[in-house]
A and B are shown apart, each in its own frame.
Chain A
Amino acid sequence: MISQSVEKEYQGMLDAYEKAGGDKSALKSKDIAKLVIHENRVLGSDGVKGLKIETRETKTGVDVHLLVEEGAKIPRPVHLCFGILPKEGLQEIIMKVDAKDNSQVSVIAHCIFPHAVKVIHKMDADIDIGSNARFDYKETHYHGEAGGVEVIPKAKVRVGKGGVWQSTFALSQGLVGKLDYDFEVFCQEKAVAELVVKAYGRGSDDIKVWEKIYLDGMGARGLAKSRIVLSDRAKAEVRGETYGNAPYARGHVDCMELVNGTEAVAVAIPIVSVTNGKAKVTHEAAIGSIDRKQVETLMARGLDENEAVDVIVRGILR
């Protein structure tokens, strides 16, 4: 029997999830795999055929094991909802993912800290994507306006032969607070990795993004992409690294940081390295103010300058 306090806590998470843009009905459906964690408590957890979720509550968070069985094609996205509703707290998620050979799954994660004044959210993930498996991961954060969140997502991903890892991390609702994102992906033969980070820094937000892709197998492909918009006194440092270590490996680092105002600071450090003569890795990094011609294009359609800037920023972070 579920206690009243847990039910209330669960309802609070559902409401916050919905406010953050999540589909609340997905967390209630029996046909959809899901995991809801508030602080260090697992409020809901359901697997589906071909996908198992095991959890263990710890003193400061939850250990999670997500297993996608060999050949399983999970028809509907798995929904994860992590959060801390009070103003203060610590949440450490230790995540182990095994996506076995020829499996396919899409995961949508919402991380919710709407009232945070002093909250730390850490995720440490160890992820194995099997041969010809596909794993799509989309993580969206919803923070309040106090800016008191420290988000530290770290992941080590290994993608097997012909496998695909595609992840998007988005933090554009509320103040970022402090973000220290560190993902590294190791690709075997013909594996594909795509890392995308989108963040909107305002106030005194401090953003650090570190994307690393190692193209270790023949014909492996990788893209490390980041889109950061900064205003006020926000600062960001983005490191995009791609290493072409095998024949016909192809990689690209694509970093764009837009600075709106005079006090924000953006730094981009693309690193491309090739240790095989038949590999090719390229990069483009653009830092600057919002393009005047784009703004005037929208103003010529009747938008005020601020509205035009807003449309451009939303587009970049979409």
Chain B
Amino acid sequence: MLAVQNLRLKLNGKSIIDDLSLEVKKGEIHGILGENGTGKTTIAYLVMGVNNYKPTGGKMLFEGQDIADLSVSQRAKMGISLAWQEPARIEGLTVRDYLSLSGKNQGTENIESYLRMVGLEPAQYLDRDIDATLSGGERKRIELASVLAMRPKLAILDEPDSGIDIVALPLIFNGITEMSRQGSSVLLITHSEKMAEIAHRVSILCAGKIIRTGTPLESSQWFKDNCLTCPHINKPTELT
């Protein structure tokens, strides 16, 4: 589905993504696990094409087509979508309108079902604006519902669990798993080992490089053994 090959990004002369290669298969939940500042969100932005990020090298192939020069809309129309780590607030745009943009040609009932999937009661939320009156956790759950409503081929979820209360967390896990069951691929960006457990494979990112890919269990253990005790955080070249 998504094949990232030797991807590079330099910003102001500094290497942010360094020769990164990654493959996400159809229906796969592929976790990206890493410390703060390793470039996890940058990968999300590069694949979605937002924030003016353009690779300085390498390829990003989606269903075999290089997407590097496509606009955000074009990528979305191909079936890629992004749930932002800190979603934007948009004054005057209701939850109903926002989900309707994603779930074009889907009835209200379906839109409501996506809200329920993330633990939000439609009657309480559909007519609210996605503005500053929502808490961070509510806004994130609406963002996830919006991506669910798109039924994307590839969902990029940037730390979907951050700011979510423990009651709703299992629902978020279920929603992501359900997305995969329905055939969507998921690029799951997280720094939570618990969240990474729902992935089929987990890649560990350090200083813009994938340094290991394996099952969630293997990768988590490796992360604990090597990353948490590593004195060279974000300097993989010094790993021995």
Contacts and interface: CB of A to CB of B under 8 A. Distances in A.
Interface stretch (B83-91, B193-201, B223-231): B83-91
Interface in A271-297: 291-294, 296-297
Interface in B100-150: 101-102, 104, 129, 146, 150
Contact of B77 (A293, A296, A302, A312): A302
B101 to A, nearest CB: 5
Contacts of B87: 297
A300 B91 CA distance: 18
Interface string B144-158: 001000100000000
Majority secondary structure of chain A interface residues (helix, strand, loop or mixed):
helix
B76 A299 contact: yes
B82 interface: yes
Nearest to B75: A300
A316 interface: yes
Contact size class for B?
20 to 34
A314 B88 contact: no
Contacts of B50: 293, 296, 299-300
Contact of A318 (B48, B71, B92, B146): B92
B88 A300 contact: no
Contacts of B101: 298, 301-303, 311
Contacts of B51: 292-293, 296
Interface residues of A, number: 22
A300 B48 contact: yes
Contacts, number: 68
A312 to B, nearest CB: 6
B92 A314 contact: yes
Majority secondary structure of chain B interface residues (helix, strand, loop or mixed):
mixed
B72 interface: yes
Nearest to B52: A292
Given A302-B77, A303-B101, A305-B71, A297 B90 contact: yes
Nearest to B89: A294
Contacts of A316: 91-92
Contacts of B150: 301-302
Contact of A305 (B73, B80, B81, B97): B73
Interface string A304-318: 110000011011111
Interface of A: 227, 291-294, 296-305, 311-312, 314-318
20 contacts: A291-B88, A292-B51, A294-B90, A296-B48, A296-B51, A298-B90, A299-B50, A300-B50, A300-B80, A301-B81, A301-B102, A302-B104, A303-B73, A303-B76, A305-B73, A312-B90, A314-B92, A315-B90, A315-B93, A316-B92
Interface of B: 48, 50-51, 71-73, 75-77, 80-82, 84, 87-88, 90-93, 97-98, 101-102, 104, 129, 146, 150
Given A301-B101, A315-B90, 13 more contacts: A292-B51, A296-B51, A297-B87, A297-B90, A299-B72, A300-B48, A300-B80, A302-B101, A302-B150, A311-B90, A311-B97, A315-B92, A316-B91
Which 5 pairs across A and B sit closest by C-beta, in order of nearness?
A315-B92, A299-B72, A318-B92, A302-B76, A315-B93
